[in-house]
Structure 1
Amino acid sequence: MTQPHAPRSELRTHSVFNQSEPLSGLNLFSADRVLRDAVSRNGGDAHRDHLSAFGTRMGSAEVQEWGRQANENPPKFKPFDRFGHRIDEVEFHPAYHQLMRAGLEAGVSAAAWDTDTAPHTLHSALLMLMGHADAGVCCPMSMTYACVPALRHAGWATDWISGATASAYDPAMKPMAEKAGLTIGMAMTEKQGGSDVRANETRAVSIGGDEVELTGHKWFCSAPMSDGFLTLAYEGEGESAALSCFLVPRWRPDGTRNTIEIQRLKDKLGDRSNASSEIEYHGAYARRVGEPGRGVRTIIDMVNHTRLDCLAGSAGLIRTASFHAIWHADRRAAFQRRLIDQPLMREVLAELAMEAEAAMALAFRVAHAFDTMASDPNEAALARILTPIAKYWICKRAPYLVYEAMEAHGGAGFVEESPLPRMFRQSPLNAIWEGSGNVIALDTLRALSRDPESREALLAYLARGKGQNAALDALIGRIEASLAGGIGEADARRFSEEAALALSALALMDAGLDAASDAFLARRIASQSTTLGAGHGQIDTEKLIERGRLAV
Structure 2
Amino acid sequence: MALASTSGPEAAASGPAADNFADRDPALRPLLDRLLSEADRRRIEPVLHDLGQVAAGELARLAAIADANPPRLRQYDAAGERVDEVEYHPAYARMSQLAFERFGLAALSHRPGVLGWPAPAPHVVKYALSYVFAQAEFGLLCPVSMTDSAARVLRLFDSVRFAPEIAALSSPDLRGLATGAMFMTERQGGTDIAMTGTEATRHGSHWTLRGQKWFASNVTADVILTLARVPGQGEGTKGLGMFLVPRLRPDGSRNSYLIDRLKDKLGARSMASGEVTLEDAHALSVGEPEHGFRQMAEMLNVSRLSNAMRSAGLMRRAVRESVDHTRQRVVFGRPLFDQPLMRATLLPLIVDTEAALGLVLESAARLDDADAGDAEAGRLVRVLTPLAKYSVCKQARAVTAEAMEVRGGNGYIEDWVNPRLLRDAHLGSIWEGSSNVIALDVLRCLRQDGSHRLLADVYRRRLHTLDDPEVRPAADILDRRWNALAVQGELLLAGPVEEQQADAGGFAEATARTVMASLLLEQAAYEAGSGLGHRKLLVAHTYLSRLDPLDRPDRTGGPAPMPASAVRSALAHLGELAEGGPVGIEAARAALETTPGSTHA
TM-score scaled by structure 1? 0.90
Deviation at 1:34, TM superposition (A): 1.8
User: In structure 1, what is the equivalent of residue 424 of structure 2?
Assistant: 426
Q: Does 1:27 align with 2:50?
A: no
User: In structure 1, what is the equivalent of residue 34 of structure 2?
Assistant: 41
Residue identity in the other structure for 2:360: A
Matches of 2:221 and 2:557 in 1, distance apart? Answer: 40
> Aligned with 1:216: secondary structure?
strand
Matches of 2:382 and 2:233 in 1, distance apart? Answer: 33
Residue identity in the other structure for 2:84: D
Percent identity of equivalent pairs = 35
Matches of 1:490 and 1:435 in 2, distance apart? Answer: 17
- Sort the Cα spacing of 1:529 and 1:250 in 2 relative to 1 into closer, same or farther, 3 A: closer
User: In structure 2, what is the equivalent of residue 128 of structure 1?
Assistant: 131
Q: Is the 8 A contact 2:507 2:557 kept in 1?
A: no
Q: Is the 8 A contact 1:344 1:533 kept in 2?
A: no
Listed as ranges, the matches of 1:164-313 within 5 Å are 164-170=169-175, 180-209=176-205, 211-237=206-232, 239=234, 242-313=239-310
Residue identity in the other structure for 2:193: V
Q: Is the 8 A contact 1:475 1:525 kept in 2?
A: no
Q: Is the 8 A contact 1:353 1:545 kept in 2?
A: no
Residue identity in the other structure for 1:479: L
Deviation at 1:239, TM superposition (A): 4.3
User: In structure 2, what is the equivalent of residue 163 of structure 1?
Assistant: 168
Matches of 2:94 and 2:4 in 1, distance apart? Answer: 16
Structure 1 spans left out of the alignment, 5+ residues: 8-18, 171-179
Q: Is the 8 A contact 2:6 2:61 kept in 1?
A: no
User: In structure 2, what is the equivalent of residue 450 of structure 1?
Assistant: 448
Deviation at 1:56, TM superposition (A): 1.6
User: In structure 2, what is the equivalent of residue 541 of structure 1?
Assistant: 571
Matches of 1:548 and 1:118 in 2, distance apart? Answer: 30
Deviations 1:56-86 (A, max 9, x none): 21121x3222111101011101111111111
User: In structure 2, what is the equivalent of residue 368 of structure 1?
Assistant: 365
Deviations 1:214-266 (A, max 9, x none): 00110111101111210000111484782100010011111111011011111
| Residue of 475, 481, 485 corresponding to 1:475 | 481
Matches of 2:371 and 2:219 in 1, distance apart? Answer: 32
Listed as ranges, the matches of 1:384-533 within 5 Å are 384-452=382-450, 454-464=451-461, 465=463, 468-469=473-474, 472-473=478-479, 475-487=481-493, 488-512=500-524, 513-525=536-548
Deviation at 1:547, TM superposition (A): 3.6
Deviation at 1:442, TM superposition (A): 0.7
Deviation at 1:432, TM superposition (A): 0.8
Deviation at 1:548, TM superposition (A): 2.1
Matches of 1:281 and 1:214 in 2, distance apart? Answer: 6
Matches of 1:24 and 1:261 in 2, distance apart? Answer: 43
Residue identity in the other structure for 2:486: E
Listed as ranges, the matches of 1:66-105 within 5 Å are 66-105=62-101
Higher relative contact order (CA 8 A, sep 6+): 1
Aligned length: 527
Q: Is the 8 A contact 1:202 1:217 kept in 2?
A: yes
Deviation at 1:195, TM superposition (A): 1.7
Residue identity in the other structure for 1:460: D
Q: Is the 8 A contact 2:349 2:399 kept in 1?
A: yes
Deviation at 1:419, TM superposition (A): 0.4
| Residue of 115, 118, 122 corresponding to 1:119 | 122
Deviations 1:458-480 (A, max 9, x none): 12124244874475455323311
- The more displaced of 316-325 and 532-541 is 532-541
Matches of 1:182 and 1:72 in 2, distance apart? Answer: 26
Residue identity in the other structure for 1:476: W
Aligned-residue CA RMSD in angstroms?
2.5
Matches of 1:509 and 1:248 in 2, distance apart? Answer: 46
TM-score scaled by structure 2? 0.83
- Sort the Cα spacing of 1:529 and 1:439 in 2 relative to 1 into closer, same or farther, 3 A: closer
- Sort the Cα spacing of 1:141 and 1:157 in 2 relative to 1 into closer, same or farther, 3 A: same
| Residue of 304, 311, 316 corresponding to 2:313 | 316
User: In structure 2, what is the equivalent of residue 144 of structure 1?
Assistant: 147
Deviation at 1:451, TM superposition (A): 2.2
Q: Does 1:336 align with 2:337?
A: no
Q: Is the 8 A contact 1:363 1:390 kept in 2?
A: yes
Deviation at 1:118, TM superposition (A): 5.8
Deviation at 1:298, TM superposition (A): 0.9
Residue identity in the other structure for 2:404: M
Residue identity in the other structure for 2:131: M
Q: Is the 8 A contact 1:204 1:233 kept in 2?
A: yes
> Aligned with 1:269: secondary structure?
coil
Deviation at 1:47, TM superposition (A): 1.1
Matches of 1:333 and 1:530 in 2, distance apart? Answer: 37
- Sort the Cα spacing of 1:4 and 1:236 in 2 relative to 1 into closer, same or farther, 3 A: closer
> Aligned with 2:161: secondary structure?
helix
Matches of 2:518 and 2:574 in 1, distance apart? Answer: 18
Deviation at 1:22, TM superposition (A): 2.4
- Sort the Cα spacing of 1:304 and 1:165 in 2 relative to 1 into closer, same or farther, 3 A: same
Q: Is the 8 A contact 1:144 1:184 kept in 2?
A: yes
Deviations 1:316-357 (A, max 9, x none): 111111111111111111011111110111122122111111
Structure 2 spans left out of the alignment, 5+ residues: 112-116, 465-471, 494-499, 525-535, 582-601
Residue identity in the other structure for 1:95: A
Deviations 1:171-199 (A, max 9, x none): xxxxxxxxx11100110011111121110
Q: Is the 8 A contact 2:506 2:556 kept in 1?
A: no
- The more displaced of 347-356 and 263-272 is 347-356
- Sort the Cα spacing of 1:206 and 1:36 in 2 relative to 1 into closer, same or farther, 3 A: same
- The more displaced of 370-379 and 263-272 is 370-379
Residue identity in the other structure for 2:139: G
Q: Is the 8 A contact 1:471 1:525 kept in 2?
A: no
Residue identity in the other structure for 1:515: L
Matches of 2:339 and 2:418 in 1, distance apart? Answer: 22
- Sort the Cα spacing of 1:267 and 1:530 in 2 relative to 1 into closer, same or farther, 3 A: farther
Deviation at 1:132, TM superposition (A): 2.1
Q: Is the 8 A contact 1:322 1:405 kept in 2?
A: yes
> Aligned with 1:79: secondary structure?
strand
Residue identity in the other structure for 1:279: V
Deviation at 1:482, TM superposition (A): 2.0
